């Protein structure tokens, strides 16, 4: 099973930062047993959402030649629960790293204006072709940033 845990990308600056959203719905598979009768998004899934968003930053910044894989969680802290119906705001900033082939990111997950999780992660840069199709990921990125939705709306307006 594969979890795609970024629902939208709100903004991004190449090689610097990216902001996205994860909407939690009652139909998420991971909520079934975490916890019975009190569904909570597991902290590790929030961390995975942040890691995926960091991958999108690397992909978009490298014209979809690279992706990142989580290698090390330098530190993390969780402050509260994310529940069905919540919208988690994911914020990623790059941290300077001297080691070739590595990226470090400072990550924050927020529910409205309060922190839900923070982490600093270390990733390894890998060729996109080793993990995904660059063209497919470029297409998904356009959906996540609403670039394709914008064009579809414009086409509909022009036909009227």
In whole angstroms, what is the distance from residue 108 CA to residue 120 CA?
A: 9
In whole angstroms, what is the distance from residue 43 CA to residue 109 CA?
A: 10
Taking each helix axis as running N to C, give the angle between helix 134-144 and helix 147-159, from 0 to 180 degrees, rounded to the nearest 10: 70
Radius of gyration of the chain from its Cα atoms, rounded to whole angstroms: 16
Q: Is 15 helix (H, G, I), strand (E, B) or coil?
A: coil
Q: How far is CA 40 from the centre of its chain?
A: 19
- Catalytic, 75? Answer no
Residue 22 and residue 88 in contact, taking contact as beta carbons nearer than 8 Å: yes
Catalytic choice (8, 34, 110, 146): 34
Residue 57 and residue 17 in contact, taking contact as beta carbons nearer than 8 Å: yes
Tokens of 33: 């047993």
Catalytic center residues: 34
């Amino acid at each position: 099973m594969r979890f795609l845990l970024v629902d939208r990308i709100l903004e991004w600056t190449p090689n610097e930062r990216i902001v996205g959203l994860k909407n939690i719905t009652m139909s998420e598979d991971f909520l079934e047993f975490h916890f019975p009768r009190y569904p909570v998004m597991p902290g590790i899934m929030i961390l995975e959402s942040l890691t995926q968003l960091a991958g999108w930053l690397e992909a978009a910044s490298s014209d979809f030649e690279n992706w990142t894989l989580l290698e090390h969680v330098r530190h993390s802290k969780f402050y509260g629960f994310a529940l069905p119906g919540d919208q988690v705001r994911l914020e990623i900033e790059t941290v300077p790293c001297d080691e070739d082939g590595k990226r470090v990111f400072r990550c924050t997950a927020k529910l409205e204006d309060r922190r839900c999780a923070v982490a600093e992660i270390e990733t390894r840069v890998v060729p996109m072709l080793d993990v995904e199709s660059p063209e497919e990921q470029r297409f998904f990125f356009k959906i996540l940033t609403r670039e394709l939705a914008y064009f579809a709306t414009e086409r509909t307006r022009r036909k009227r």
